[in-house]
Amino acid sequence: MSLVIAGTMAFDAIETPFGKTDKIIGGSATYAAWSASHFTSPIKQISIIGGDFPQEEIDALKSRGVEFEGVDVLKDEKSFFWSGKYHLDMNTRDTLVTDLNVLAKFDPKVPASYQDCEFLMLGNLMPSLQKQIINQLPKRPKLIIMDTMNFWMDIAMDDLMETIKMVDLLMVNDAEARQLSGEYSLVKAAQKIMAMGPQFLIIKKGEHGALLFHKTHVFFAPALPLEEVFDPTGAGDTFAGGFIGHLARTKDISFENMKTGIIIGSAMASFVVEKFGTQRLKEISNDQIMERLNYFVDLVNFDIDIVS
């Protein structure tokens, strides 16, 4: 059994209506690994960091079963940095700064020890790099999941389409699904996107939950109704980490088990937004996760009796 997670490990500076951070640890692979580590280990990380990435953060991840052999360290350079400011609705944000730094040199190599990979999570990255990782695996993983974003649809559509064709499950948000398919209806968008290659599609709708599509099947998972969303950064990556962590733990890639994975991903995302950065993912216990999963059961569980 082996789960490989590829993506960014970075610094973020975040401003929300509730507060502001200095540089804190972020990045798609960081959030996904913290989230997945509650369900499975080892997690074999593929990323690139600078000499400024804190050793204590690396040690904390290692103690959770995250392996760093696939993480390039460029000692004299800086880690990727992103800074953003959320609007009052918390659904939209402005990017203030994007310093690629080491990310501009990222040339991912899959170490020999990663090549038994059964579950591959490709966090949001340049599509050509995602493809490069898939192509280095001698044996095709049981499941390849890919996250992406509108930015690549704007500037690297050909690469993106080639990479999408190679994966089993694509994860995008509703606006991205519409952009990629040219369809406003998410049901129609899903059919068009699955025709591009992936057998499974997850459309994330933020505070409105997530949809899983497979052939003619649809599953809907709500987001938890929250009193406050403190910081939405990393919610999508945390969702993805919980989802793939559950699949890797159970080694079951059926549609039925993916439903459970989506609820688990949603629960993990509902934690991460409660504080800045990855903090909540470091604190929460299995009991707290179970309690929240039961909350999801209560939230959507209903009985249908017979209509007269």
Q: Which positions lie near a copy of itself, rule CB under 8 A?
A: 38-40, 88-89, 184-188, 205, 208-209, 211, 217-222, 225-229, 249-250, 256, 259-260, 262-264, 286, 289-290, 293-294, 296-308
Tabulate helix, strand, coil % of the chain (nearest 5). 40, 25, 35
In whole angstroms, how close is the CB of 34 to a copy of itself at the nearest point?
15
Nearer to a copy of itself, 95 or 294 (CB): 294
Whole-number minimum distance, CB 220 to a copy of itself, in Å?
4
Q: How far is the CB of 184 from a copy of itself (least distance, A)?
A: 7
Q: Which residues contact 99 (CB under 8 A, 6 or more apart)?
A: 78, 80, 81, 82
CA distance 45 to 213: 28
Q: How far apart are CA 111 and CA 98, in angstroms?
A: 29
Between CA 270 and CA 276 the distance in angstroms is 13
Tell the smallest beta-carbon distance from residue 221 to a copy of itself (Å): 8
> In the complex with a copy of itself, which residue's Cβ is closer, 39 or 80?
39
**With respect to a copy of itself, which residue has the nearer C-beta, 161 or 299?**
299
In 100-207, the DSSP E strands lie at: 119-122, 143-147, 169-173, 200-204
For a copy of itself, the closer of residues 6 and 43 by Cβ is 43
**Min separation Cβ 160 and a copy of itself, Å:** 24
Judged by beta carbon, residue 66 or residue 221, the one nearer a copy of itself is 221
C-alpha–C-alpha distance, residues 289 and 184, integer Å: 35
